Amino acid sequence: MVRTAGDLADGPTETEDQQYGDHSTPLARAAEHILRARHGVQLGPTLHRPEATRVVVVANQKGGVGKTTSTVNVAAGLAQLGQRVLVIDLDPQGNASTALGVDHRRGVPSTYDAVVEGAPLAEVSVPCPDVDGLMVVPATIDLAGAEIELVSVVARESRLAKAIKGHPLVGSAAEVGDERFDYVFIDCPPSLGLLTLNALVAGEEMMIPIQAEYYALEGLGQLLETVEMVRQHLNPRLNVSTIMVTMYDARTRLAFGVAEEVREHFGDQVLKTTVPRSVRVSEAPSYGQTVMTYDPGSTGALCYLEAAREIATKGAPS
């Protein structure tokens, strides 16, 4: 089953009814999300926190498929649902940093310092100004050099893993307590180089955004081969937990066909919620915001909130 923006507007399913209580009309949901976004108000039941930090790698070597957009909006959505979230910007372009409203000019403490220089992650993260409970490690253009600089460094593919493990707020409830991060999201660059490899070694879960267009599945084979290689040699715990169909245009047969094909390939890994193509989603970054605060009542924001809820409810793969 594919759940589109249209279905969201049609109203809740039975399980959603249980989750939201009886004020679950589309309008009520939009109103609820606006309140959450503006005032941090928690309405309805809060999500359960995972027992231990879930480290999610957002990767697809194809550019422009919605990695960054999905990272920042799902992360913000989870934070708005009461989770504690860290986003690590691993793309030298720094688009996630821009969307989350944090400074990423050359010279600010950044992912580069953590990955290349070995600086503690906690010292290079800053709060997202618009979303409570969301921290960000910004990426500066220095990171562009890391791809080459790392080649000659010891344990070059496990630098990020070490930085994340060393963060005092990453771990299980028993080890770290209530202050722990529930989620760490890593926004990868559009390549399968050493930076992405570092992310794949650092995470247990992978989220792959797929754009609902004709060439969507092209290149995925190469990505999955890389994942298999990493599983065999570097990180046996890595799991493709989430496939997210983005920029879905419900009016076209093509988008529907692509979504069906993705579902045939990946089954339950595919989120029921698809993210529609939406102008509000694409213009939010130019205001240094995610769509979750820029226009919390918009369809794009509500779909990302649903996606966030789905990811949280599904839980970590075991």
Binding to ligand ADP by residue 33, rule CB under 6 A?
Answer: no
Instruction: Give me the least distance between CB of 59 and Mg ion, in Å please.
Output: 10
**DSSP strand pairing (126-127 vs 134-137):** antiparallel
Considering the complex, state which of residue 95 and residue 111 has its C-beta at the smaller distance from Mg ion.
95
Options 59-67, 136-144, 206-214, 218-226: segment touching Mg ion (CB under 5 A): 59-67
For residues 156 and 201, the answer to whether their CB atoms sit within 8 Å is: no
**Which of 4, 97, 98, 278 forms a contact with ligand ADP (CB under 6 A)?**
278
Residues 82-111 close enough to bind Mg ion by CB under 5 A: 95
90's tokens: 């691993």
**Which of 49, 67, 277, 309 forms a contact with Mg ion (CB under 5 A)?**
67
Instruction: Give me the least distance between CB of 33 and Mg ion, in Å please.
Output: 24
Instruction: Give me the least distance between CB of 297 and ligand ADP, in Å please.
Output: 16
Residue count (the chain): 318
Binding to ligand ADP by residue 64, rule CB under 6 A?
Answer: yes
Considering the complex, state which of residue 90 and residue 302 has its C-beta at the smaller distance from Mg ion.
90
Binding partner selected for residue 292 from Mg ion, ligand ADP, none, CB under the kind-specific 5 to 8 Å limit = none
**Which of 139, 160, 281, 305 forms a contact with ligand ADP (CB under 6 A)?**
281
Letters for 299-318 (x = contact with ligand ADP by CB under 6 A, - = none) are -x------------------
Considering the complex, state which of residue 268 and residue 283 has its C-beta at the smaller distance from ligand ADP.
283
**Which of 4, 68, 83, 97 forms a contact with ligand ADP (CB under 6 A)?**
68
Residues 80-119 close enough to bind ligand ADP by CB under 6 A: 95
Residues 125-144 close enough to bind ligand ADP by CB under 6 A: none
Options 13-21, 66-74, 146-154, 251-259: segment touching ligand ADP (CB under 6 A): 66-74
**Residue 40: closest CA among 48, 32, 30:** 32
Binding partner selected for residue 247 from ligand ADP, Mg ion, none, CB under the kind-specific 5 to 8 Å limit = ligand ADP
Binding positions for ligand ADP, rule: CB under 6 A: 63-69, 95, 190, 246-247, 275, 277-278, 281-282, 300
